[in-house]
Amino acid sequence: MPTVSLFFGLILGIFVYEGHCQCGDRIPVTLKSFQPTIITSPGFYNGSYEANTTCSWIIKTVADTPADMKILLQIDIWQMKCPRDYVRVYIGESSSGLAVFDEFDCKTDINTTKPILITGAVYVEFKSGDFETDPGIGFMMKFLPAHDSSGTGCQRTQKLLAEETEKFITSPRFPDDYPLNNDCSWNITVNGTNSVQLVVYLLDVDKNDNCSYHRLHITTNDSSTILCDRREWDRKQIVGESISITFKTDSKNRRAGFLIGYKSVLVTTTTDVITDATTAQVTIPPQYWDYWWPENKPLTDYYYYEYGFNPNVVVDPYLTTPVVDPFPTFPTAAPVTTTPMIPQMPNTGFWDNWISPLLYYWMF
């Protein structure tokens, strides 16, 4: 069996996103296990919402959801004119439930908040006031229904077998905050000549520069990767003949943890993964960097891919000088199961018109 190199990519999106940006009264949205769903304000992908608009959504999990399933809510983008316009999130199916997000003064730093954990249905209400100028951009929320899939990996090293159907590993108690002083490990193998494809879909741990607080350590037969990020939903993909995972935490600052998917794939060379779906390579333009990377810049040695999306969709609505990918491309291993909505980010003004172009030309 040929040696399989590490594939470590930043992929735009996680699984195949279900997108909801239409406006109406009590629009039903059904969540599926371990599949995130995006809800945005109307007009979000055009750069702003309209005046005098009222929308609401009722978010529920599918009928056969396990009893221990919970919903992880993360608010990624929230740029509104407070208190004139607002978005509120309630537990239950109406505004009479407990409010878990209700911000009037725009002081919340969304990029540092922990994800919100919800059990049962969720009611989201959006309203914009009367205005002729100065609209807000709007909001983007991610909902992820999940449950603890850590197995016995935190009592002893758990041995797992990868198959064609994707399976999942999570931090203990996920999506609740993980315990402190943990030392967990899993070892994934595969039968025959196939390889293991592993994808880190979500990572939310206590972070420092050298990952000495809490960390996720992934090793293959010829590679080693240590991860520690907060609120990180970008796909990180690794392929190996076998893969070992360790998750260690110290005595402070619990967070949501991680969600990993793994499956068996056929690898014929060190760079080609055989799948029944093809995807198109895309370029992430500078005006999107502040939404997808905390440092507001891309990492030039990573790959940028459209994962599971329709390659005929135009990803970049603003013409810019493309980011050059110096590495060869490889197809990704996931079939298209739905027709998702590409989360195209709006132009936000000063950053896009001044800082982003200067950073772009300085780097390239």
Buried/exposed code over 262-275 (b: 16+ C-beta within 10 A; e: otherwise): bbbbebeeeeebeb
Judge if 284 and 346 occupy the same domain: yes
Structural domain contains residue 254: yes
State which H helix or E strand residue 345 sits in: none
CB distance 28 to 63 below 8 Å = no
In degrees rounded to 5, what are phi and psi of residue 289?
A: -60, -40
Number of domains in the chain: 3
Domain CATH code at residue 197: 2.60.120.290
Structural domain contains residue 59: yes
Judge if 139 and 207 occupy the same domain: no
Judge if 249 and 295 occupy the same domain: no
Judge if 250 and 280 occupy the same domain: no
CB distance 92 to 120 below 8 Å = yes
Judge if 205 and 315 occupy the same domain: no
Domain extent for 140? 18-146
Q: What pLDDT was estimated at residue 112?
A: 59
Look up residue 79 and give its two tokens: 């740029």
CB atoms within 10 A of CB 98: 10
CA 112 to each of CA 8, 286, 296, 317: distance values in angstroms, whole numbers, following the listed order = 25, 22, 15, 29
Q: What pLDDT was estimated at residue 109?
A: 65
pTM here? 0.61
Judge if 227 and 289 occupy the same domain: no
Judge if 44 and 141 occupy the same domain: yes
Look up residue 125 and give its two tokens: 């209400």
CB atoms within 10 A of CB 127: 14
Give the whole-angstrom CA distance, residue 268 versus residue 249: 37
Give the whole-angstrom CA distance, residue 11 versus residue 293: 12
Structural domain contains residue 219: yes
Per-residue pLDDT in tens (0 to 9) along the chain, 364 residues: 443 333 333 222 334 445 556 789 999 999 888 888 889 898 888 888 999 999 999 998 887 777 778 888 888 777 888 888 998 999 999 999 999 888 766 766 666 566 788 888 899 999 999 988 888 888 888 888 899 999 999 999 999 999 999 999 999 999 889 999 999 999 999 999 899 999 998 888 887 778 888 999 999 988 899 998 888 876 788 999 999 999 999 888 888 899 999 999 987 654 433 333 333 333 333 443 333 333 333 333 222 222 233 333 333 333 334 444 444 444 444 444 444 444 444 444 554 555 555 554 455 4
- Name the nearest CA neighbour of 289 among 203, 201, 357, 209: 357
Judge if 250 and 327 occupy the same domain: no
The order of strands in the sheet holding 18-20 is 18-20, 37-40, 138-146, 70-79, 116-118
CB distance 74 to 256 below 8 Å = no
- Name the nearest CA neighbour of 360 among 318, 314, 315: 318
Structural domain contains residue 12: no
Structural domain contains residue 8: no
Look up residue 245 and give its two tokens: 């995972």
Q: Of 125, 146, 167, which closes a domain?
A: 146
Q: Of 118, 146, 174, which closes a domain?
A: 146
Structural domain contains residue 5: no
Structural domain contains residue 6: no
Q: Of 146, 177, 210, which closes a domain?
A: 146
Judge if 195 and 260 occupy the same domain: yes
Judge if 142 and 33 occupy the same domain: yes
Look up residue 224 and give its two tokens: 């080693």
Judge if 229 and 280 occupy the same domain: no
